[in-house]
Amino acid sequence: MAYRLSIAEDVPSSVRATAQEQLERAAAKLEDRSADPVVAVHDARKSLKRTRSLLRLARPALGRKAYRAENDALRLAGLSLSGTRDADVLVETVQALAKRFAGQLPLAQFETLRDALAREADEGRSGDTSPDRAQLGGVLRAAAERAEQWPLDGADWDHLLEVIARGYERGVETFAAARHEPTVEHLHDWRKRVKDLWYHERLLRDAWPAVLDAHAEEAHVLSELLGDDHDLAVLRQRLANGVELPAGTVIDAEALERLIDERRDELEEESRRLGRRLYAETPTAFARRLGRYLHAGLREQDPGEVA
């Protein structure tokens, strides 16, 4: 089952089924001992993020207490998987930086930094005190079982549209803040809202797949650009704090920081260009358009059900 809500079903059934599929998928990834642990953790984290975005979409129907309990449980599960993944991301970020600026700095500089960060990641894995993956898989399977009892009986498509519209409006606001003052915090806040837009349009793709898939994919591209920018900001801070290098090796931290700043400028300019298109509509216009797509799709499913 894809990450989407079926307009052929009622909202409560579709939300529950989608949440259960994502949670069970995450559990299976963690429980698979034959899988690459780095890939398994990465895939499980993505499923958890998708489930939490679905939770935010269903929040008004769930109610504050149920939403908070489930969201906190999934947030803690995600945090328990984040430590070594964050260290691996820094290694990948150095590799991407070396590729982008090949020839502008000796390759050995990038390799020395990459190897030092890779050792830190390996040490983190060897001393990892997070829950056993199989144990955490059991936690997620229990969450999937609870999803069957989520109090969603009052949920309908218009409720979901209201949440998506508010999320889009927050995206417009955080985009404006990031343009006015592109701090790491503002850009990170904007990225979270962009990811919600990506996830929410995927969930409602049945309303008009050709259009919503395309718009969602552009939101995905934007979230990746902003994610790369954030990873570079984290790498720059690591350099400023100092990276433990093997005896007899050195790196030109200032030169590396200049390249990081240059690449971040490129990513942020590209993000702004794409952001202007994704957020070209007012929140009211966006909500009205999406609502028309959805209700047209619902009428096709059952002409007598939706006026």
Residue 102, helix vs strand vs coil: strand
| CA dist list (Å): 297 to 7, 20, 23, 132, 303 | 7, 24, 28, 44, 10
Q: Which two tokens stand for residue 307?
A: 């006026």
The residue to which tokens 């890939």 are assigned? 39
243, part of any domain? yes
83 belongs to a structural domain: no
User: Looking at the domain assignment, is residue 303 inside a domain?
Assistant: yes
Q: What is the pTM of this model?
A: 0.91
What would the pLDDT profile of 145-182 be if each residue is shown by its tens digit? Answer: 999 999 998 899 999 999 999 999 999 999 999 999 99
What is the total count of domains within the chain?
1
The per-residue pLDDT for range 73-111, each reduced to its tens digit, is 999 998 888 766 677 899 999 999 999 999 999 999 999
In a domain, 296, yes or no: yes
Give me the domain span that covers residue 219.
156-307
Residue type, 52: R
Residue 173 lies in a domain: yes
pLDDT in tens, 109-134: 999 999 999 988 887 666 555 557 88
> Is 283 a domain residue?
yes
In a domain, 64, yes or no: no
For residues 203-236, one letter each, b for 16 or more C-beta atoms within 10 angstroms of the residue's C-beta and e for the rest, the string is bbbbbbeeebeebbebbbbbbbbbbbbbbbbebb
* Exposure letters 13-33 (e unless 16+ CB within 10 A, then b): ebbbbbbbbbbbbbbbbbbbe
Contact 152, 62 (CB under 8 A): yes
Residue 180 domain-assigned (yes or no): yes
